Structure 1
Amino acid sequence: MNIIDCREMACPAPVISVKKALQEQNELRVLLDDGAPRENVARFARNRGMEVIEEREGTGWAVIIKGNNEATQSREVSASNGDQVLLITSDRLGDGPEELGRLLMKNFIHTLLETETSPQRIFFMNTGVFLSIEGSDVFEALEKLQGMGVEIFSCGLCLDFFNLKEKARVGGTTNMLTTADSLLNARQVIKL
């Protein structure tokens, strides 16, 4: 089993390194820092139908990934084809007064519960991650959307940057590779 060392790598480098390595081999032992790097790599592998074993190793983690390359590659290509994706990069909507922008964003997300069509995925990036944390004005609406089958993701790097990792309660954390793949394979991307 090959070992790749992804410690001290910034997002999305660990996931990209693992993706490249999995194109050549079915089993990997990946050395990772705790937090977003470990979570992102484990989720990346699980989302592609691979077995993931996480073991504490010193101050970091070893993530063992086992799977089938052909199944992984075909699942990756079809995972997000045809989706309608929302990309929310701010905690407010528009460029006007902050208070109005926050009210518009709150109303928009609450209105998603009433529309006939829901997006398949919502990605929160930059200050948009403030919407996905416990206590936000739209937290309960996001939980309801998730219960309706909408996949919700917050940028792990953004959560870390704003020291919000512990407050993230709805959806999952994601990395730039997964976000880019989803946006590029989506039928429609709506950026707010």
Structure 2
Amino acid sequence: MKEIDCRGLSYLQIIREVKKYFNSIGEGEAVVVVNNELGRSNVIRYAAHKGYKIDIEDEKNRFLIKMEKRGCLESEDEEEIFSILITRDKIGEGNDDLGITLMSEYFEALNEYDKLPKEILFLNSGVKLFKRDSKAIEDIRMLYKKGVKLLISDTSLDYYKLTEQITFGEIASMYDMVVAMKKAKKLIKL
């Protein structure tokens, strides 16, 4: 049985390693080894989400999660189609540096998620995420390369004088934004 040793890795690196292995096989088993509770809970949540059978063995400072992939059929459920509305360049109130870091981590985590949004709409200061020095720009570009449609408000770009910095995505009018929001099955607002 394959052992995936994820001790000392961040939660995103753990999920990346687990996904890499299970995406490379049709069916099979593996034991994932982590050394913290956050890693343990993320692996369990991932396995449950994918429909894998799991068996957990907890030891002091070491968690073994046996995962088994058998006949797990994944289908695109209408309920899982979603869009995201980004209205700020940071998450939360308070410390701007923390909010910018959280937004960057959000896009990094979104890239690792199994179901990507159909589209992401950027309004107001959310368009600042397209600045060349943005912490999130490369992860946003990766989503675009994966086929996520990016709509960027023309009015917001003009206001922040960022139109010239747009190298990917679609500059859109407010009408385009309204149409996209109306068509969205689910709309998540950040």
Q: Paired residue for 2:121? A: 123
Which of 85, 94, 97 lines up with 1:96 in the alignment? 94
Task: Tell me the CA shift for residue 90 of structure 1.
Answer: 0.3
Q: Distance in 1 between matches of 2:164 and 2:133?
A: 12
Matched-pair contact (CA < 8 Å) for 1:154–1:172: yes
Matched-pair contact (CA < 8 Å) for 2:151–2:169: yes
Matches within 5 A, 1:156-171: 156-171=154-169
The reply to whether residue 155 of structure 1 matches residue 149 of structure 2 is no
Matched-pair contact (CA < 8 Å) for 2:101–2:135: no
Q: Paired residue for 2:170? A: 172
Task: Tell me the CA shift for residue 85 of structure 1.
Answer: 0.9
Q: Distance in 2 between matches of 1:181 and 1:90?
A: 20
Q: Distance in 1 between matches of 2:183 and 2:170?
A: 20
TM-score by length of 2: 0.56
Task: Tell me the CA shift for residue 96 of structure 1.
Answer: 2.6
Deviations 1:67-94 (A, max 9, x none): xxxxxxxxxxxxxxx9511000000001
Q: Distance in 1 between matches of 2:102 and 2:157?
A: 23
Q: Distance in 2 between matches of 1:177 and 1:116?
A: 30
Q: Report which structure shows greater RCO (CA 8 Å, sep ≥6).
A: 1
Larger Rg: 2
**Structure 1 unaligned runs (5+)?**
1-81
The reply to whether residue 182 of structure 1 matches residue 180 of structure 2 is yes
Aligned residues: 111
Q: Paired residue for 1:109? A: 107
Matched-pair contact (CA < 8 Å) for 2:116–2:148: yes
Task: Tell me the CA shift for residue 106 of structure 1.
Answer: 0.6
Query: What letter is aligned with 1:170?
Result: F
Query: What letter is aligned with 1:131?
Result: L
Task: Tell me the CA shift for residue 173 of structure 1.
Answer: 0.4
Deviation above 6 Å: which 4+ runs of structure 1? none
TM-score by length of 1: 0.55
**Structure 2 unaligned runs (5+)?**
1-79
Q: Distance in 2 between matches of 1:143 and 1:98?
A: 23
Matched-pair contact (CA < 8 Å) for 1:134–1:169: no
Matches within 5 A, 1:1-192: 83-192=81-190
